[in-house]
Structure 1
């Protein structure tokens, strides 16, 4: 009996050292803080990934509202896309089964990663830059919501906001209220420098720097170019990827020629770094029927579709992968017909994270 107990205790000790200890060290080091300060939530299959997020009750978003976990029709075939090409095709060509129903990929679909899984994906990169107009800015805001596990104010700098501003920019309003843009998180350092202040949610991992760089002109401003170079050029290991996510549809007012010049410019800047910089172009969202007639383009979705079709070819010529957001937003609610709330932005951010997960890192 004593020998049996000793064997069990030895097995438990080995399991702790081999499995739990390395993971705790990995996650504990990811913010440069002891792991005891992290409250990692392990999301079991079928559980709501948002239930422990700050603001989960106030914002009224559950994982089942925006993500449909696939049911494998064939146990031998995974429902998840096997590589980057099939992932982008599936997400660009997917759809919804009804208005505001969860979006699903065509033929295969994407994963909904937990925060700990997202952190492990980000560990593979030198830096991540989100560059362009308000479309990619919204994706970056949702990216911060996921990394800070805060649905209420995860995309903004609540430590510089008044109580009234925090109420005005809470939940979906941080994506929809134009007045909240000035408080939006623009880079990782803005959040990290407030660690220990008790004035806002911290990142659950922060070893890979990331930033949003606004670009709405061609050529891009010297400031924007410098921000990108500072983020990527000086990073160690030039072969470790520094992904770039780019959008310019709203910034160019759906001008194909201007967007092409912008992509050519950023391809040149990325090439000049002599580094591994994979690039993703985000196509424009669709317009809804409640879009006002006085906002361009007058042709509405026919213009958006034409722009998407032409620019996709130009993007691939300039070594960009392409993710269309048209089908994702086609049956999604929007208060003004052209701007979408937190639920859509979270899906867009998770799609980008899935793209990141498929990138080669060797």
Structure 2
């Protein structure tokens, strides 16, 4: 399924872009719970960030006006795009890859939810799930129940190959641009992960049309800067070897919640997370890799185990990345 280009839509305050999604009522997710469309302070000044660098800075330093309240960027904020406009944004690219650990995987899951307009099971391959499994993995459980991850969508092909006459589950609203999650949890990365990236990116006909890469390695490295730099260099080199236009975005890790088990990985808590982010930011920028910090977004967010966040957080993270994509140059 594909969608024709339409005039960009800016949501008015009070308008809900999620209400018509499958599972909206069941999952109890309304746009007003996760996003505030700010009223302009002046008719001549937009509340939305104008430039890419300003957007990333505002989102990395923003906050919430209370626990679990909608996140707002500092100084300016991001847009909540309707699905038709998301399709317009994605249509400017050759391919999009989400590479790295469970942080990237959960965001890719939310990315699929937005493109399939399905809050209940949109990140999963529900056509291979039993009724019992679908009941157990609905809504927030897509992100909180580790057993459900075995059904997670890993590429656009997982959904498209199910679009035959006996189709089950929700199709993509648009599917003309390839995208995939490529798991990377170690350095060096596995040959299969590198091969998946090359198969998706290296053969594209137009080398100047961007193929953005979103990369996270905080959890995979247990917030070790040296290991992350090695992993980042590996993927920067793979991107360079493609001789393609591949803008890269590094994700600073989310905060650790209050329920994180003491003595487990990252036991030093948010001190380690924040230091890792502050150390990685200048290193990434020196390598011409953009940075989006997720620490402030998650600092006042509920977490069942102190590490995994629910569907609402993942949707916001995915929309932030779509905002970054919307500001990439395509010529």
Task: State the TM-score, normalized to the length of structure 2.
Answer: 0.96
The one of 153, 156, 160 equivalent to 2:128 is 160
- Answering whether residue 81 of structure 2 is matched by residue 107 of structure 1, we say no
Counterparts of 1:172 and 1:182, CA distance in 2: 15
Deviations along 1:87-110, one digit per CA (max 9) or x if unpaired, are 000000000000000000000000
**Structure 2 residue runs without a partner (length 5+):** none
Matched, 1:270 2:239: yes
Matched residue, 2:206: 237
CA shift, 1:123, in A, is: 0.3
- Tell me the residue number matched to 1:35: none
Q: Do structure 1's residue 349 and structure 2's residue 312 form an aligned pair? A: no
Superposed, which structure 2 residues align to 1:86-235 within 5 Å?
86-196=54-164, 197-235=166-204
Instruction: After superposing the two structures, state which structure 1 stretch, 284-293 or 86-95, moved more.
Output: 284-293
- State how far apart, in whole Å, the 1-side matches of 2:167 and 2:238 are: 39
1:296, 1:342 → 2: CA distance? Answer: 23
Distance 1:263 1:314 in 2: 10
The question of whether the paired residues in 1 share the 8 Å contact of 2:2 and 2:174 is answered with: no
Question: 5 Å matches for 1:203-352?
Answer: 203-352=172-321
SS at match of 1:223: helix
How far does residue 26 in structure 1 lie from its aligned partner after superposition?
6.9
Could you give the per-residue CA deviations for residues 206-245 of structure 1, whole angstroms, max 9, x where no partner exists?
Answer: 0000000000111111100010011111112000000000
Match of 2:3 in 1: 27
> Following the alignment from structure 1 to structure 2, what is the Cα–Cα distance between the partners of residues 248 and 298?
17
Distance 1:47 1:310 in 2: 40
Q: Looking at both structures, which has the greater relative contact order when contacts are Cα pairs under 8 Å and sequence separation is at least 6?
A: 2
Q: What CA distance in whole angstroms lies between the structure 2 residues aligned with 1:259 and 1:278?
A: 18
Bigger proportion of residues as helix: 1
Cα distance, 1:44 vs structure 2: 6.3
Partners of 1:99 and 1:122 lie apart in 2 by 32
Distance 2:305 2:267 in 1: 15
Give a deviation string over 1:103-153, Cα, whole Å, max 9, x none. Answer: 000000000000000000000000000000000000000000000000000
* Structure exhibiting the larger radius of gyration computed from Cα positions: 1
Question: Alpha carbon RMSD of aligned pairs, Å?
Answer: 1.4
1:16-67 superposed Cα distances (whole Å, 9 cap, x missing partner): xxxxxxxxx9716x9xxxxxxxxxxx89633211111000110000000000
CA 1:307–1:205 in structure 2 vs 1: closer, same or farther (change >3 Å)?
same
For the residues of structure 2 that align with 1:322 and 1:146, how far apart are their CA atoms? Answer: 23
* Contact 1:56-1:62 within 8 A present in 2 as well: yes
Give the TM-score, by structure 1 length.
0.88
The aligned residue for residue 68 of structure 1 is 36
Shift in alpha-carbon separation, 1:318–1:201, aligned structure 2, 3 A: same
* Secondary structure of 2:21's aligned partner: coil
1:317 offset after TM fit, Å?
1.8
Q: Look up the match of 1:36.
A: none
